[in-house]
C-alpha cells in the first residue's frame, strides 16, 4: 500500500488536469503552466513510469475560441464548444509532448464505455496496450456527442474510473485547490488542510463545498467521490494545487503536498469494480446494524430481513447502492428483485418471501458474488 513515504514507488500514474489548471481566469490557455506540467510528466515517463493524462477543458477552450463569455446553456451549444476545444487541446498536447520525445494518443470515452461491461473490458485492453507500447494516453470524455457527460461534466470521476480500469498505483488530481479542508478556506481563514484521508465517511462527504468555476464543472464533491472510487479500487489518490512549483515531483518525493487518500488493501476485482463504478445506478436500500455487520465482517449476501428502507425505481438486474443507518454508502451490487418487490419484503425473513410475492426466485436481494463492498 502506498503512503507518503513510498509514493515514489508508484509505477502507473494517472494525472488529471482541471479546466482551472489549463486556463487563465479569462478563459485563455495557461501555456506556461501546461508546458511545465507536460515537462514533469515527460520526465516521469523517462524514469520508466507509465503515465495517463486525463484532461478537462474542452468546453472552456472552445468557449474562448468561439468568443463565448458565458458557459453555453443548451446541450448542442456545449457539444459545439467541446468539439472546437478538443481539437485545440489535443494539438497543444501533441506539440508539447513531442518536444520532449513523447508519443501521445487521444482516447475519448463516454459513460457507455463503462456501463457496458464488454466496452469496459475493451477500454481496459486498449489503454493497457498503449502503455505497453510506451504511449501516453490523453483521455477526455467525448463531450461532443455524450449528452449525459455534459450534464455531469465530471472528469474527476472519469480519472478515478480510468485509474481503476488500468490498475494504476496512483491518481493525482491537480486543481485550483490545495486539497480537502475542514471548511471552505475562502470563507473561513481558520480552515485547515486535511493531509490524510483513510476512509470516506459521511463527515468527509459533508466537506464537499460548492461547485467549480465558471468554465469548469467540478468541485470538492466530485473529487471526494473520485477518492471513494480510487480507494476502493486499490489506488492511492492525491488532490493538490496545480500552480505549486514542481508539484508532481514534490508529491512523488513524499512531501506533505495536498490531501492523500490511502488506498484500501482489499482492492475490488475488475468485475466488482465495474459493478460498483461502471454500471449505472438506479436506486438504493438502507440496512440495519446487524445486516451491516454481516456484510462487512462475514461477507454475507444482502437479505431482505436487514433492509429498512428502499429508494428509487429499480428493476431486477439493476445496480443499486447500499446505505447504513448513518447514511454511509458501504456497498453496490446487482439486485435480484424490483424496488416494488423489495418494498414489500423488506424486514421479512427469506422463508416469508414466497408467501408475500407468490414466488421466490432468489433467497438473496443481492448475492455476495454480485456485491462490491466500498469500505
Judged against a pLDDT cut of 50, whether residue 217 lies above it is answered with no
In DSSP terms, 54 is beta-bridged to 16, 139
- 280-373: CATH, from 2.30.130.10, 1.10.490.10, 3.40.50.720, 3.40.50.1360: 2.30.130.10
Instruction: In whole angstroms, give the CA distance from residue 242 to residue 258.
Output: 10
Q: Which residue has the higher pLDDT, 358 or 278?
A: 358
Whose cell is 464537499? That residue is 208
Query: Model confidence at 32, in pLDDT bands (50, 70, 90)?
Result: very high
State the pLDDT at residue 46: 97
Of 8-22, 128-142, 242-256, 262-276, least confident by mean pLDDT is 262-276
For the chain, the average pLDDT equals: 88
User: pTM higher than 0.75, yes or no?
Assistant: yes
pLDDT digits (tens, 9 = 90+) for 77-133: 888 998 999 999 999 999 999 999 999 999 988 766 666 667 777 888 999 999 999
Is residue 331 helix, strand or coil?
A: strand
State the pLDDT at residue 170: 97
State the pLDDT at residue 145: 59
CATH of domain 4-271: 3.40.1160.10
> Start-end ranges of CATH 2.30.130.10 in the chain?
280-373
pLDDT digits (tens, 9 = 90+) for 310-328: 999 999 999 999 999 999 9
Amino acid at each position: 500500500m502506498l503512503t507518503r513515504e513510498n509514493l515514489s514507488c508508484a509505477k502507473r500514474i494517472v494525472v488529471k488536469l482541471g479546466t482551472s489548471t489549463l486556463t487563465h481566469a479569462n478563459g485563455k490557455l495557461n501555456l506556461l503552466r501546461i508546458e511545465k506540467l507536460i515537462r514533469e510528466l515527460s520526465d516521469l515517463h523517462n524514469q520508466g513510469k507509465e503515465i495517463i493524462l486525463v484532461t478537462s477543458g474542452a468546453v472552456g477552450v472552445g468557449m474562448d475560441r468561439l468568443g463565448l463569455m458565458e458557459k453555453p446553456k443548451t446541450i448542442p451549444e456545449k457539444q459545439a464548444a467541446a468539439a472546437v476545444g478538443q481539437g485545440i487541446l489535443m494539438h497543444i498536447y501533441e506539440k508539447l509532448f513531442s518536444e520532449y520525445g513523447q508519443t501521445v494518443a487521444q482516447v475519448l470515452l463516454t459513460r457507455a464505455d463503462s456501463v457496458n461491461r464488454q466496452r469496459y473490458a475493451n477500454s481496459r485492453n486498449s489503454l493497457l496496450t498503449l502503455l505497453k507500447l510506451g504511449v501516453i494516453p490523453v483521455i477526455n470524455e467525448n463531450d461532443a456527442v455524450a449528452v449525459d457527460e455534459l450534464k455531469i461534466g465530471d472528469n474527476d470521476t472519469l480519472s478515478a474510473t480510468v485509474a481503476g480500469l488500468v490498475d494504476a498505483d496512483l491518481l493525482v488530481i491537480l486543481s485550483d485547490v490545495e486539497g480537502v479542508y475542514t471548511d471552505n478556506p475562502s470563507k473561513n481563514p481558520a480552515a485547515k488542510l486535511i493531509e490524510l484521508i483513510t476512509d470516506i465517511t459521511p463527515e468527509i462527504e459533508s466537506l464537499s463545498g460548492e461547485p467549480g468555476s465558471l468554465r469548469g464543472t467540478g468541485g470538492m464533491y466530485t473529487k471526494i467521490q473520485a477518492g471513494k472510487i480510487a480507494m476502493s479500487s486499490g489506488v492511492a489518490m492525491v488532490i493538490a494545487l496545480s500552480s505549486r512549483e514542481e508539484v508532481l515531483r514534490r508529491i512523488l518525493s513524499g512531501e506533505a503536498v495536498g490531501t492523500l487518500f490511502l488506498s484500501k488493501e482489499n482492492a475490488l476485482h475488475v468485475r466488482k469494480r465495474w459493478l460498483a463504478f461502471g454500471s449505472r445506478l438506479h436506486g438504493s436500500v438502507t440496512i440495519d446494524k446487524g445486516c451491516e455487520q454481516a456484510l462487512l465482517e462475514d461477507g454475507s449476501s444482502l437479505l431482505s430481513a436487514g433492509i429498512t428502507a428502499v429508494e428509487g425505481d429499480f428493476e431486477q438486474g439493476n445496480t443499486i447502492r447500499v446505505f447504513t443507518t448513518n447514511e454511509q454508502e458501504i456497498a453496490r451490487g446487482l439486485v435480484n428483485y424490483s424496488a416494488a418487490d423489495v418494498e414489500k419484503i423488506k424486514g421479512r425473513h427469506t422463508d416469508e418471501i414466497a408467501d408475500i410475492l407468490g414466488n421466490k426466485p432468489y433467497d438473496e436481494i443481492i448475492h455476495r458474488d454480485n456485491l462490491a463492498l466500498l469500505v
